[in-house]
Amino acid sequence: MTNLSEDSAVLRLPRLADEEVDFGLLAEMTGFSVKLVWILGYTYLTRAIDDAGITPQRFSMLELIGVNPGLTQTQLARALGLSRPATSLTIDFWEGRGHVERRIAAQDRRSFGIHLTAQGKTALEGLRVRVREADDALTRKLGPEEIDQLRGLLARIYE
């Protein structure tokens, strides 16, 4: 995850501003602007939490488990838009660190309820602080009312 050579990718962002390159249609597309901001946010977030393989996806999973203890893996997969195998592997990751445990569901012994361990709760607290900071950094050029405006417009699109 550390890319520090000549062609480092973490910071590799399209360059709209400088030099003589005209972005043509891309510069007129809302989707392209969204992509640029997404890359920037992903970069901030990754830098904030990248300890031994913690990625935005993996954090999202831990957060969902923390807020909704007992969800099954299929429910988690659907909520986050992942395949069931990907979900299974993500839970393996957190279980291997002792942050999460699978408890067999009494009423349906095919499925597990996923829960945070005490360790997991502590880790999640620490991660949340850093994630918040990264998200604040992303919007640091906007005032509070502008952030609300932006969030509102984005929500109108995907809701």
Partner DNA sequence: CTGTATTTGTTAATCACTATAACAAATACA
Partner DNA sequence: TGTATTTGTTATAGTGATTAACAAATACAG
Residue 112 · residue 73 · CB < 8 Å: yes
Per-position DSSP letters for 8-27, written without gaps between them: -STT-----SSSS---GGGG
Distance of CA 67 to the CA centre of its chain: 15
Q: Are 59 and 42 in contact (CB under 8 A)?
A: no
Distances (CA, A) of 88 to 18, 41, 56, 91, 146: 44, 26, 16, 5, 39
Sign of the CA dihedral with 54 first, then 56, 58, and 63 last: positive
User: Does residue 9 bind DNA (CB under 7 A)?
Assistant: yes
**Partner that binds at residue 119, options DNA, a copy of itself, none, CB closer than 5 to 8 Å by kind:** none
State which residue, 74 or 149, has the beta carbon closest to DNA. Answer: 74
Torsion of CA 97, 81, 69, 61, to 10 degrees: 30
Query: Of residues 42-71, which lie at the interface with DNA (CB under 7 A)?
Result: 53, 55, 57
Smallest gap from Cβ 12 to DNA, in A, equals: 6
**What track of x and - describes contact with DNA for positions 103 through 132 (by CB under 7 A)?**
----xxxxxx--------------------
Out of 13, 89, 129, 150, the only residue in the binding site for DNA (CB under 7 A) is 89
Structure tokens at 88: 């299974």
CB of 70 to DNA, least distance (A): 11
Segment lying near DNA (by CB under 7 A), choices 3-11, 14-22, 32-40, 144-152 = 3-11
Mark 76-105 with x for binding to a copy of itself (rule: CB under 8 A) and - for no binding. Answer: --xxxxxxx---------------------
| Binding interface with a copy of itself (CB under 8 A) | 7, 9, 12-17, 19-26, 29-31, 33-42, 44-45, 60, 63-64, 66-68, 71, 75, 78-84, 128, 131-132, 134-135, 138-139, 141-142, 146-147, 149-151, 153-159
